[in-house]
Amino acid sequence: MLRRIVARPVATRGLVIAAGVVGLALLALVPARGMSGSAQAQAGTAETYLIVYRQEAAPADAASAIQKAGGTLVQSYDAIGVAVAQSASASFADKMTADNKVESAVSTEGLARKPKDDIINEADPSEGPALAAVVPSTAASDTDNLAPLQWDMRQIQAPEAHAVTQGRRSVVVGDIDTGLDWTHPDLAPNVDFAKSVSCIGGVPNQDPAAWMDDNGHGTHTAGTIAAASNGIGIVGVAPNVKIAGIKAGNADGYFFPEAVVCAFMWAATHHIDVTNNSYFTDPWYFNCPSDAVQRAILQAEGRAIRFAARQGVVNVSATGNFMDDLAHPTQDVMSPDFPPGSEVTRPVTNACLVVPVEIPGVIGVSGDGNLGIKSFYSNYGTGVTDVTAPGGDSVLQVTAEAPNGRVLSTWPAALAGTLPPSRIVMDGSAVYGYLQGTSMASPHVAGVAALIMSRFWWMPSWWVAAKIQLTADSIPCPDADTLALYEPFPSESNGAPQECQGRRWFNSWYGQGEVNALRAVTRWP
């Protein structure tokens, strides 16, 4: 459950997103079939179902079998054996699972996860006025107006990397999030409209109005990845690459399973090079394969993520904000969270996975702050954390460089009122906001992946992922005095003290270290 720590911001229970409603992971693919008119007619009363077939290929009679069971096919991802259907029949799932071709059929009503990084971004009574006039002492080599406020970029040597490459226009990062504000002047030059999409409902919709960010979080992560170097505002890690908004989270910050599957399949089939994933999915924080419903969601999303990876997509994900050791889970006290208040305490084991960060092949990113130590809220875990990156820390790491500890990035003008005034910075009419969370860390790594692909465009995706880790600046586990700083912030799940395991060059808090953009684009191999 959420717990307020006296005189400190509250640690969140939702994964990796600093929510925009403050107060909040391939080869020829058979094209997916679209929604029929009958499905649209049923939409008022029908529930949405995720159907997972035993084989990673949808059968030829999928549509007719679904119809016979009392439903309508909405979308079929033939290449991974997953379909989305709608039905108003209470017996639909039972009829579908009676088919020996079907592994599972589960309703996705209520199967969503609302990220709650908003808790660690709530207003702090001790905060002063807006920080637009605060200029750190360290000079920035990027020259956009607000670049001096970007301590996070200097920390990973992004300005120095920009002297080598700012990215190639042919490289596209898909930001799987709540959409993005394509009218923002720092994003507009780089938005790839042809590859942007809304996956809400599990059906791709390329109408720009459909993937406009109505939450704020997606615009913030997109700016960290690819805000243009255009003289105004901020500069992203890869300011010359293209950014595609892949909307899988709705206005309230819920990521439904069918939308997540759609998002990764879209990335796999539309030549997306990198995806950023600053969220986790399902109503369950941990997805346990011993439960039939959780197993179905885990299978469907896992297949989509692995399919994207086989198509050469580099998938990057945040670890989460619960102060948990994901490699040694013992219980889950925060699931399911839909409807609100339905959480129960349940035991979990290492067989239970957080998606997408624990799917093999996904680059897991923990968060750190301006002192270069783990953010107080960040999850971690041996084999889960591959690298760390700036996510901000408003408690342990407020410095002259980072006066409020948080990360500055683009924010929709229409949602400026959803952040406290102290978190808003204006450059002309363009709006920027301060947030913290592993949501903010992950897009730094996605941006570095885009720079590597731009500089070494002929190299395969697995090499890009390896290079991110091998060029990171190693950070050892903290000494006893530093570790003591984390005593007020035990695991949100089981109350255990935070502990770091491993050696300097690979440990549970930092993986192989903090990502370094300059080393990534200059060091060979």
pLDDT in tens, 117-137: 656 676 554 444 333 333 333
Q: Would you give the DSSP letter of residue 4?
A: P
What is the full DSSP assignment across 273-324?
-EEEE-S--SS-SSB-TTSHHHHHHHHHHHHHHHHHHHTT-EEEEE--SS--
The mean-pLDDT minimum among 10-24, 46-60, 248-262 falls in 10-24
- Crossing angle of helices 292-310 and 257-269, rounded to 10°: 10
How far apart, in whole angstroms, are the C-alpha atoms of residue 103 and residue 7? 50
Instruction: Answer whether residue 380 shows pLDDT above 50.
Output: yes
Domains of the chain, start order? 37-107 (3.30.70.80), 117-522 (3.40.50.200)
Tokens 């929709």 sit on residue: 412
**Torsion angle of the four alpha carbons 517, 401, 216, 174, in this order, in degrees rounded to the nearest 10:** 0
The mean-pLDDT minimum among 130-139, 301-310, 313-322 falls in 130-139
* Predicted structure pTM score: 0.89
pLDDT in tens, 195-224: 999 999 999 999 999 999 999 999 999 999
Q: What is the separation of C-alpha 89 from the centre of its chain, rounded to a whole number of angstroms? A: 34
Question: What pLDDT shows up at residue 252?
Answer: 86
pLDDT grade, residue 282 (50/70/90)? Answer: low
Question: What pLDDT shows up at residue 140?
Answer: 43
Task: Read off the pLDDT of each residue in 229-244 and give the average, rounded to a whole number.
Answer: 98
Instruction: Answer whether residue 501 shows pLDDT above 60.
Output: yes
Q: In what order do the strands lie in the sheet with 387-390?
A: 197-198, 242-247, 172-177, 274-277, 314-318, 363-368, 387-390
Question: What pLDDT shows up at residue 119?
Answer: 60
End-to-end Cα distance, the chain: 45
How far apart, in whole angstroms, are the C-alpha atoms of residue 428 and residue 328? 48
How far apart, in whole angstroms, are the C-alpha atoms of residue 464 and residue 455? 11
